[in-house]
Amino acid sequence: MNFETLKAFVAETPFLSLALAGLTVAIVVTEVRRLFRGYKSLGPAELTRLINSDNALVVDLSASADFEKGHIAGSRNVQPSAFGPDNRLLAPARSLPVVLVCRDGNASAGAAARLKKAGFERVYWLDGGIAAWRQAELPLVKGRGG
Residue 32 has pLDDT above 90, yes or no: no
Nearest alpha carbon to residue 113 among 100, 132, 128: 100
User: Can you tell me the mean pLDDT for 18-44?
Assistant: 76
Is a pLDDT exceeding 90 seen at residue 38? Answer: no
**In the chain, where the domains are located:** 3-35, 39-135
Nearest to 39 by CA among 98, 116, 95, 146: 116
pLDDT over 60 (residue 35): no
Local structure of 125: helix, strand or coil: strand
Instruction: List, in order, residues 6 or more apart from 139 with CB less than 8 Å away.
Output: 73
What confidence tens digit (pLDDT) does each residue in 69-124 have? Answer: 999 999 999 988 888 888 888 888 888 899 999 999 888 988 898 888 888 889 99
Fold topology of 39-135: Oxidized Rhodanese; domain 1 (3.40.250)
DSSP code for 78:
-
Q: Higher-confidence residue: 129 or 88?
A: 129
Say what the pLDDT of residue 146 is. 52
How high does pLDDT run on average in the chain? 86
Which residues are known to be catalytic? 102
Which long-range CB contacts under 8 A does 86-92 form with residues at least 24 apart?
89/57, 89/59, 90/57, 90/59, 90/115, 90/120
Mean pLDDT of 23-37: 68
